[in-house]
Structure 1
Amino acid sequence: MSFKIAIIGAGSVGFTKKLFTDILCVPEFRDIEFALTDLSEHNLGMIKAILDRIVEANGLPTRVTATTDRRKALEGARYVISCVRVGGLEAYADDIRIPLKYGIDQCVGDTICAGGILYGQRNIPVILDFCRDIREVAATGAKFLNYANPMAMNTWAAIEYGKVDTVGLCHGVQHGAEQIAEVLGAKSRHELDYVCSGINHQTWFIDLRLNGRKIVKDELVAAFEAHPVYSRQEKLRIDVLKRFGVYSTESNGHLSEYLPWYRKRPDEITRWIDMSDWIHGETGGYLRYSTETRNWFETEYPQFLEAASKPIDPAKRSNEHASHILEALETNRVYRGHFNVRNDGVITNLPQDAIIESPGFVDRFGINMAAGITLPEACAATCMASINVQRMSVHAAISGDIDLLKLAVLHDPLVGAVSTPEEVWQMVDEMVVAQAAWLPQYAHAVPAAKERLSKSAVKTREWAGAARRNVRSIEELRAEKAALKQAG
């Protein structure tokens, strides 16, 4: 087979390498072309050198090109994969820093909540640019695979406004299933069969079977509470499991910021999170992790390049959906996964226009969703709160309506649990002004927002958050890795 895959945001070096090696684990895909594109020539140069080394080491005919000209990369592409972060870590830092001034403590801030909504405002205009280019220069019927967050908002915009065949992809379901298999004592993750449904990052394991035996709530609660690690790291998820009756796919820290109950007071935050790793609830944890990862990669790049000389091992193919979807579409080997698509009746008690995450099967006819799923009422109610925020956020990003943007933030569950309307109005003004370089649709609203900020009497505070850690230096990271290696 010979076709072209374009990767936008290919400067996300580690993730691009994973997608690349996964796809090349499919024997029929040896002779394809990867077209890499990114705004950063520096990052493009690094990832192209790594991928070229992989191709050379494995004696493959695979072609790799790299360009900052996005349209050139998309020309003739059958598949387009996006893993962009518009505004980079600079804008992301404001997604965390500014809401903290108003008492809003986020762990990740990339899906909803104040940070995720502003992230969507930066991403959606760019996503629509991608879609325009796909319609104009990519292969007829090209499929757009979106890995970028905020997943639901980006996918919603691409489908409703971009008019491109789009699927959103995430790995939260797979990671949650691995946890469940472990606590239940499964010898392999393949022993666990599950139906997981909801919306991205709020997906629920509504049916669990271990070797054909149905797993009920009480057994799952007991298994998690008995686990020596997860009982500490997933306290909030276990509490939600007890109350809702089903386990959430999302990490302890991520789930905490989608709900209005666990992060609204500093003392409550420290009660429910775990500081052994950022993903369990640390304030700004993913920002710290992302910053450290970038610094580490820049410093240790020669080692990453050297590691690229190793043969590709198909046994180490990851459970990221992209390679499996492409394999099913091109070879007709059926793949079952969980995909982000427009609802259209897949989940009976969520809106038709919502972007849901639910089981589907892929073959040469496309992605075929299992329809007619009904969520437990509490799960549907929690998803609905986020869907309403997502819908307003997408429409605000398209229209540049700052008042609608403020209403979207106001209706966010955690923001509403913490902040007053006056605080929300000022916070959004401050975020739009700070991020104006990435928000062209709000250019007309920035002067008035600056004027309001100059006259505002709403008080803020400089606060690091309930559980903030400093970014570690390269030396500290090296020492920690050495200690872990020695211990293990």
Structure 2
Amino acid sequence: MPERKKVVLIGAGSTVFTQRLVADIILAGEEEAWEIALVDIDPVTLDAVERLVGKMLASKGARIPVTATTDRRTVLPGAHFVVTTIAVGGRPGWQADIEVPRKHGIYQPVGDTMLPGGISRAMRMIPPMLEIARDVERLCPTAHFFNYSNPMTAICRAIRRETSVPVTGLCHGVLHVEHQIARFLGTAPGTVTSLGVGLNHLTFLTRLFVEGRDAAPLIHAKLAEQKRGLEQEIAGKEEWPNIVPSGETPRYADDPFSWGVYEAHGVFPCAMDRHAVEFFPELFPNGAYHGRLLGREAFPIDKRIQLGDQWYAEMLALARSEEPLPQDRWDNLPGESEQLLQIMHSLMGDGRAVFSVNIPNRGQAPYLPLNAVIECNASATAGGFVPLLADDLPEPLVEKLKAKIHAVELTVEAAVSGDREVMLEAMLADGGVTDPAKARALRDDLLAAHRDHLPQFA
């Protein structure tokens, strides 16, 4: 019998990711191929996810060895794949990243990547992620190390800079946007594919295809049709939801900034307005977005965080119930498919399938700084990820990416060194706040709000 491949999930208490991966493995009929180690520092959450995984296995009669522990060092030796989905400070920390900047007039629809909230999150996330990477470096140096935690770019850049571990950042953003554009065009799921380059949550899709054919004529026809009533449609919107409900067809008015970029430059920003606007704060002063506030009526982040609380409560209830797993659970798992199983297959079998990944720029985007972590297309081979040469981008978008890469470099330096002045420089370079005095006050408030998770600033 072939050797089982060990997958270590660090942050296994994620309300979405662990269930999706286990479901993918079970439904693919690959129970003989894998063993899974679940790691979470919260014993209560770890117990719940272990129970839930056990129910999933029992539901389909699958036999996969599962280990659960709060100490990752006990399961990392022999790992073939290590996956991180941690969130230091959890949803309360995320809420603080949103609420503290609001007191300073800064409104964010996500707050996990850029702007003060994203920088604040990086201060908490990078030191623990470096500790994990050093354990991988020491205990399973040949394992493939994947990170799903945000801020993706800053975390992966820090690990690449401070260790020898070739971490790869993975995100469902590009796949999600392909699905959204398919819905926009009224085509079947999976028919839209793309090529793109940029930074996580601001990857510019330079080519879009429908069943292998150039999608541009279809897109422009649809945009022209909807543009006639665009202003009235936008004016009539009371709220921009975080995700267009599954029963509705996405429209130009749901992501007017992103479709405007497409009309102006011929490339589409991924992951649509909710994320993209955070890279352009100069265009949305004081959080103003078509007469609404970002993070409030426009992509209400508080509702998104509350949804995470709801998913977590449902996971606990389901895990602790004496009843078996409901069969409809398989059709209603929350969140997005992350393609991890397909990626692992391609790496193990030299399948050379192409995925969107976050890796260093080794020349695949020659107009961007070398070694900057960028999101690009790469082939998953037996020798690792081999990037595809990226398309050119319009100069204004290149300059935007360069500016954000500079802010990421300062963010990484601040998180590693615990230097308050460098954190201030990062916030000013990011552009979410431009007045040094206001930036200093905001920085101090963020550091105070998260002091329990910031030993490097003590």
Q: Which amino acid letter does the alignment assign opposite residue 368 of structure 2?
A: L
- CA change 1:401–1:210 in 2 (3 A) is same
For 1:408 and 1:317, locate their aligned partners in 2 and report how far apart those are by CA, in whole Å. Answer: 31
User: What secondary structure does 1:347 align onto?
Assistant: coil
Q: Which runs of 5+ in 2 are unaligned?
A: 229-247
CA RMSD of aligned residues (A): 2.8
Corresponding residue for 2:355? 337
Q: Which amino acid letter does the alignment assign opposite residue 232 of structure 1?
A: A
Tell me the TM-score normalised to structure 1 length: 0.81
Q: Which moved more, 1:396-405 or 1:210-219?
A: 210-219
What are the residue-to-residue correspondences of 1:309-348 with 2, within 5 Å?
A: 319-348=337-366
Q: 1:100 deviation in Å?
A: 0.7
Corresponding residue for 1:137? 139
1:371 and 2:393 correspond:
no
Q: 1:176 deviation in Å?
A: 1.0
- Which residue of 414, 418, 431 maps to 2:446? 431
2:204/2:267 contact within 8 Å kept? yes
For 1:129 and 1:84, locate their aligned partners in 2 and report how far apart those are by CA, in whole Å. Answer: 12
**Deviations 1:110-153, CA, capped at 9 Å, x for gaps:** 00110111111111100111011112222x41111000000001
Q: Which amino acid letter does the alignment assign opposite residue 365 of structure 2?
A: I
- Which residue of 96, 99, 104 maps to 1:97? 99
Q: 1:340 deviation in Å?
A: 0.5
1:195/1:206 contact within 8 Å kept? yes
- CA change 1:54–1:121 in 2 (3 A) is same
For 2:227 and 2:132, locate their aligned partners in 1 and report how far apart those are by CA, in whole Å. Answer: 45
Q: 1:318 deviation in Å?
A: 6.5
- Which residue of 69, 72, 76 maps to 1:70? 72
Corresponding residue for 2:235? none
Corresponding residue for 2:252? 231
User: What secondary structure does 1:48 align onto?
Assistant: helix
**Deviations 1:46-99, CA, capped at 9 Å, x for gaps:** 111111122223333310110111211212211100000011122222211111
2:35/2:65 contact within 8 Å kept? yes
Corresponding residue for 1:3? 5
**Deviations 1:323-365, CA, capped at 9 Å, x for gaps:** 1111112233332210000111111211112111111111323
- Which residue of 423, 426, 434 maps to 1:405? 423
- CA change 1:258–1:224 in 2 (3 A) is farther
Q: Which amino acid letter does the alignment assign opposite residue 370 of structure 1?
A: L
2:288/2:294 contact within 8 Å kept? no
For 2:66 and 2:154, locate their aligned partners in 1 and report how far apart those are by CA, in whole Å. Answer: 30
- CA change 1:87–1:283 in 2 (3 A) is closer
What are the residue-to-residue correspondences of 1:73-472 with 2, within 5 Å?
A: 73-138=75-140, 140-190=141-191, 192-216=192-216, 218-219=220-221, 221-222=223-224, 225=227, 229-265=250-286, 267-268=288-289, 270-271=291-292, 281-282=299-300, 284-299=302-317, 306-307=324-325, 319-416=337-434, 420-443=435-458
2:205/2:268 contact within 8 Å kept? yes
1:198/1:375 contact within 8 Å kept? no
Q: 1:105 deviation in Å?
A: 0.3
- CA change 1:8–1:248 in 2 (3 A) is same
**Deviations 1:249-305, CA, capped at 9 Å, x for gaps:** 113222222212443235545358698xx8x52254533333343344445655797
- Give % identity: 29
User: What secondary structure does 1:145 align onto?
Assistant: strand
For 2:273 and 2:321, locate their aligned partners in 1 and report how far apart those are by CA, in whole Å. Answer: 32
Q: 1:24 deviation in Å?
A: 3.8
Q: Which amino acid letter does the alignment assign opposite residue 46 of structure 1?
A: A
- CA change 1:399–1:310 in 2 (3 A) is same
Q: Which amino acid letter does the alignment assign opposite residue 252 of structure 1?
A: D
**Deviations 1:413-435, CA, capped at 9 Å, x for gaps:** 3333xxx2101011101111221
For 1:136 and 1:113, locate their aligned partners in 2 and report how far apart those are by CA, in whole Å. Answer: 34
Q: Which amino acid letter does the alignment assign opposite residue 136 of structure 2?
A: I
- CA change 1:61–1:293 in 2 (3 A) is closer
2:59/2:325 contact within 8 Å kept? no
Tell me the TM-score normalised to structure 2 length: 0.86
Q: Which amino acid letter does the alignment assign opposite residue 101 of structure 1?
A: K
1:325/1:362 contact within 8 Å kept? yes
1:22/1:317 contact within 8 Å kept? no
Q: Which amino acid letter does the alignment assign opposite residue 339 of structure 2?
A: H
For 2:222 and 2:363, locate their aligned partners in 1 and report how far apart those are by CA, in whole Å. Answer: 29
Q: Which amino acid letter does the alignment assign opposite residue 435 of structure 1?
A: H
Q: How many residues align?
A: 433
2:122/2:412 contact within 8 Å kept? yes
